[in-house]
Copies of this chain bind each other. A is one copy, B any other.
């Protein structure tokens, strides 16, 4: 026991997901995009100047904020940009969840939510999803300190529509409601249009999935001007310059190449539909996915063993040792070639 032990934070050393240095693996475990970012992003990267590297970037990432405002048809004052959507969500938790009442989120969802609650001493209550992993909106019509729901949800991939979100909002006018749309571009319903009606709604999105920029760390929040101004105030009290000059230029190039963006999305959606059918054909229960992954289970197959067997074949998928989903696996949608290798390996395993 050190003399200073009582002054430092007691925290469980959290271990992030495993990474392999083997470049030959088929990586279907982190919901990354198998396609490269727009060629315009690569071009923007090569055009970065000395001065952009040596001077501080604009602290509000203004030029990227403007590109996003234009893309989403909102005002620039409604857009916030951060160092990946985890940074944006962490700042949202600090800014918007400041009540003594517990915040609410589903029990089966993005595993970072309870981690932020513990870090910032926020009370929380996990609301069980139903036996089909669906979220029941009326479970959220109780007093609370705030709500966060991912739509589509992860790791299930299940998506809800406009009525669902409106029901949540209509019954929660006295708290902040965050909808985490990390996977929305793959066919989900984006509630950005509802910002016109609700000033307590915050929509969070990311460049890591649909825009093939996980390596570049860009996330965004879109909300009312009032909440974005609070978010900027909290950000500027934490780290004034979170989005570097290169990320800013790459982000702008990505937002401005809508044609490329759409072509990547449609390739992934087509592969997802085909692969979902293939898995159903060999006896898997496949949850309807509106994301870039599928969530599957086969009652007579031990999910963890399948996960390990695929890993030995050089195919990385995601297994969660979490109650209720510990016989399920999550598979990121890769290229058609990658998915063919996966399906072959799964068939070999179950036969």
Residues of B within 8 A of A15 (CB): 236
State A55–B263 Cα separation when bound (angstroms).
19
Chain B nearest CB from A292 CB (Å) reads: 12
**Cβ-defined partner of A2 (8 Å) among B52, B84, B199:** B199
State whether the Cβ of A131 lies closer than 8 Å to any Cβ in chain B: no
A3-B173, A174-B3 given; A239·B13 CB < 8 A: no
A229 within 8 A of B: yes
Q: Which residues of B contact A244 (CB under 8 A)?
A: 83, 215-217, 244, 246-247
Partner of A234, one of B3, B9, B215, B250: B9
- Knowing A45-B45, A237-B115, the reply to whether A216 touches B53 (Cβ < 8 A) is yes
Q: Closest B-chain residue to A33, C-beta based?
A: B54
Q: In the complex, how many residues of chain A place their beta carbon closer than 8 angstroms to a beta carbon of chain B?
A: 87
Stretch at the interface among A36-44, A66-74, A187-195, A318-326: A36-44
Q: Does A26 contact B (CB under 8 A)?
A: no
Residue in B6, B101, B241 whose CB lies within 8 Å of A86: B241
Among listed A206-214, A271-279, A281-289, A300-308, interface-contacting one: A206-214
Residues of B within 8 A of A212 (CB): 53-54
In chain A, positions 224-244 with a C-beta closer than 8 Å to chain B are: 226-227, 229-230, 232-234, 236-242, 244
A250 touches B53 (CB 8 A): yes
A143-199 contacts to B (CB < 8 Å): 145-146, 173-176, 199
User: Is A133 interfacial (CB-CB < 8 Å)?
Assistant: no
Q: In the complex, what distance in Å separates the CA atom of A119 from the CA atom of B57?
A: 23
| In the complex, per-residue mask of A29-67: 1 if CB is within 8 Å of any chain B CB, else 0 | 010111111000110011010111111111100000000
Mark the stretch among A89-97, A134-142, A342-350 that contacts chain B.
Answer: A89-97
Asked whether A118 is an interface residue with its Cβ less than 8 Å from the other chain, the reply is yes
- The answer, yes or no, to whether A22 is at the interface (CB within 8 Å) is no
Question: Can you name the residue of chain B whose Cβ is closest to the Cβ of A89?
Answer: B239
Most chain-B CB neighbours within 10 Å: which of A36, A56, A57?
Answer: A56
The answer, yes or no, to whether A200 is at the interface (CB within 8 Å) is yes
- A183 shortest CB reach to chain B, Å: 15
What residues of chain B lie closer than 8 Å to A30, measured between beta carbons?
55-56
In contact, B53 and A36 (Cβ under 8 angstroms):
yes
A7 touches which of B27, B175, B213 (Cβ 8 Å): B175
A245 touches B (CB below 8 Å): yes
Residues 89-132 of A, flagged 1 when their CB comes within 8 A of B and 0 if not, give 01000111111010000000000000110110000000000000
Q: A1-21: which have CB < 8 Å to B?
A: 2-4, 6-9, 11-16, 19
Contact partner of A241 (CB less than 8 A), chosen from B99, B217, B230, is B217
Contacts of A175 in B (CB 8 A): 4, 7
Could you name 19 residue pairs across A and B whose Cβ atoms are closer than 8 Å? A4-B176, A7-B99, A8-B230, A9-B94, A9-B98, A12-B233, A13-B230, A16-B240, A19-B56, A30-B56, A36-B50, A36-B53, A45-B48, A52-B215, A54-B214, A83-B83, A83-B239, A86-B240, A214-B241
Given contacts A9-B230, A36-B54, A37-B54, 19 further A-B contacts (CB under 8 A): A2-B199, A2-B200, A3-B173, A6-B99, A7-B145, A7-B174, A9-B94, A12-B233, A13-B232, A19-B58, A19-B59, A35-B54, A54-B212, A57-B214, A86-B241, A119-B237, A214-B241, A244-B246, A246-B246
